[in-house]
Amino acid sequence: MSVFINDGKRIRNAVLIGIIVSLVLCVLLTCIFALIVKFMSGVPYGIIDYVMIGVEGLSVLIGAYIASAIAKNSGLIIGLICAGISLVILFACGMSISGNDIGILTIIRIAAVLICGIAGGIVGVNRKEKVHIK
């Protein structure tokens, strides 16, 4: 019985670590992109939304990968949970700042982040273990 309790704690902790990694990485990548936009005058303004979708997708992919690698099972579910919770947090922060309506770009963002989370979860579970030579 304790195996299931420990397994649940491991999955919960893995998801929590994945979400934290995802959000921290999203903030760092956003800051890096903001510096690029500030110091390079040739970046077109219209591309910013699409780059931010890529930043959010990449951060969720890496967070879901780490979470499912820690949990070692249920990669699809763990990736989807990490992506969903990260998406809700990012969406709430974005809507509180901008107040824009939900449009087609928001639907694309939701789909991209969920797909990246699922992909990261699957790849994290199916990764090959490192070979330890003694």
Domain ranges of the chain: 7-38+49-125
Determine whether 34 is exposed, middle or buried from the number of CB atoms within 10 Å of its CB (0-12, 13-18, 19+).
Answer: exposed
Are the C-beta atoms of 124 and 82 separated by less than 8 Å?
no
Give CA–CA dist 67/120, Å, rounded. Answer: 9
Q: What is the mean pLDDT of residues 87-104?
A: 81
For 65, half-sphere exposure in the C-beta direction (CA atoms, 13 angstrom radius) is 13
To the question of pTM greater than 0.75 for the whole model, the response is yes
Question: Band of the pLDDT at 66, cuts 50, 70, 90?
Answer: very high
Please give the Cα distance from 68 to 15 (Å, whole number).
8
- Better pLDDT: 4 or 30: 30
